[in-house]
Structure 1
Amino acid sequence: MSAGANQPEFSPNTFTMDGIEIPFKDGQTLMDAALAAGVYIPHLCHHPGLTPHGSCKLCMVDIGSGRASSCTTPAVAGQQVSNNTPALNEARRTLTQMLFIEGNHLCPSCEKTGNCTLQAMAYHLGMLEGHFPQFFQRREVDASHSTVMLDRDRCILCELCVRASREVDGKNVFAVAGRGITARLIVNSPSGKLADSDLEIDDLAAHICPVGAILIKAHGYEIPIGWRTFDLHQVGEIGLEKVIQARVGHTDD
């Protein structure tokens, strides 16, 4: 009997995730391949078309005896990947709880409620309370721009706005400065204010925030509560990015 005769056979470009065979193309990450196959992996900092970042760690999966971020890990034929396990979901829930208490996310009074991916993720993972003591951070609010407001109290440092500004808008409006507890979102302008940046209301960076850190002025509550994205959809629905993009007038066309 040849070595490996009792091992399951795999197609040249497939791996298994929770027992499901997932096809992939050369160069695809585990996240890209899973989403293309209709398999959801929880995530906050990933967005199709943007360079993977791996900052939120919600998309971590188990590969053999190791653990890795699926948005940055290349797919390899024959990999055995675990995604939807009690241990992983418990770790994801803890990370989500930490994001809630590290910032000031007061959902009932936030304009983003119902459209907030962080809020939807908490529901998805069964998070019922914050668990940890609240930090009650006091960070600067920048309302200097004529059409866009920046509320750093709600920023989760996913860097989606940073990457969208650089990679899609062709600008360099945002960056993250500092490390650890001192890390913060900054504006690349002479004064550090949005008003002195080249951010425009049609930029993807002005709309991509998954929480309520970047808001469009004078457009609050245009969509009534009860009819917002996550009032009508589950965060785990595949292709939900297109639904969100359509609501803010951004498509891949």
Structure 2
Amino acid sequence: MTDTFTFTIDGVQVEAEPGQTVIEACDAAGVYIPRLCHHPELPPVGQCRLCTCKIDGRMLGACVTPAARGMVVESDTEALNEDRRRLVEMYFVEGNHFCPTCEKSGDCELQALGYRLGMVGPQLSHLWPKREIDARHPDIYIDHNRCILCSRCIRASKLLDGKSVFGFEGRGIEMRLAVMAETLDETALAAADRAVSVCPVGCIVVKRRGYHVPYGKRHFDETPIGADIEARRKG
């Protein structure tokens, strides 16, 4: 039996096991911390910074910080949530996210976080980048306009699918998702791959499944993002 220990987040006592990160322990205890790049099946990378919390007085990513006995974590504060709202806003204006016509509307984690954090609309200027859509694959298309560079597909393709279909190219504002071939149809990517289904936004989309679930009945139309985690909380 493992030697469990406890720490607190926003005054709530959380039980953790050795080797768990803060976000893993909080997920198990039913305490939701916002995130975009983190996925429970993938190793953490700390890219999106939405899970940043004040941990023992320091600003640290909850997905990459090991849980420790007696640590004091602050997450659901107005200051941290304001930072998260601004980060989500930056994701929206950096790409082209027109929710009313997006296939992932209602199932999009970026959109759902905007709602959860109370982001009414972007106040920053839109960059309106011109990015291509690769629709040459028979079953999948990639809309680079909606990519948020979370790297989930990169990690899932390599570690879960064993294919290494995706990677990053460029730096800074020019950084983009790339495929390890001239075009997507020349890769081994399949519609059933986890690299496709882990995409949190409308970037990697399976063809011929559009709008099979109507608006109003999609995942985040019925429950807010994080509700599945909060349902685990006892008491």
Whether these two folds match at TM > 0.5 is yes
Q: Which residue among 4, 21, 28 is the counterpart of 2:20?
A: 28
Mind listing any 5+ residue stretches in structure 2 that lack a counterpart? 231-235
Q: Which residue among 55, 70, 79 is the counterpart of 1:78?
A: 70
Q: Which residue among 222, 231, 242 is the counterpart of 2:221?
A: 231
Q: Residue type of the partner of 1:217?
A: K
Does 2:137 match 1:145? yes
Look up the SS of the partner of 1:238 in the other structure.
helix
If asked which structure has higher relative contact order (CA below 8 Å, sep 6+), I would say 2
Higher CA-based Rg: 1
Name the CA distance, whole Å, in 2 between partners of 1:24 and 1:238: 19
What's 1:4 paired with?
none
Q: Residue type of the partner of 2:139?
A: T
Name the CA distance, whole Å, in 2 between partners of 1:145 and 1:18: 47
Look up the SS of the partner of 1:212 in the other structure.
coil
Q: How many residues align?
A: 228
What's 2:210 paired with?
220
Q: Residue type of the partner of 2:212?
A: E
Look up the SS of the partner of 2:24 in the other structure.
helix
Q: Which of structure 1's runs of 4+ aligned residues deviate more than 6 A?
A: none
1:92-131 per-residue CA deviation (whole Å, 9 max, x = no partner) reads: 0000000000000000111111111100000000000111
Q: Residue type of the partner of 1:60?
A: T
Kept in 2: contact 1:35–1:238 (CA 8 A)? no
Look up the SS of the partner of 2:227 in the other structure.
coil
1:184-234 per-residue CA deviation (whole Å, 9 max, x = no partner) reads: 000012x1x110000011101111111100101111000011110111111
Mind listing any 5+ residue stretches in structure 1 that lack a counterpart? 1-10, 241-253
Q: Which residue among 178, 185, 188 is the counterpart of 1:198?
A: 188
Kept in 1: contact 2:4–2:18 (CA 8 A)? no
What's 1:162 paired with?
154
Look up the SS of the partner of 1:128 in the other structure.
coil
What's 2:106 paired with?
114
Deviates more, 1:96-105 or 1:108-117: 108-117
TM-score by length of 1: 0.88
Kept in 2: contact 1:39–1:238 (CA 8 A)? no
Kept in 1: contact 2:32–2:229 (CA 8 A)? no
Q: Which residue among 85, 89, 112 is the counterpart of 1:93?
A: 85
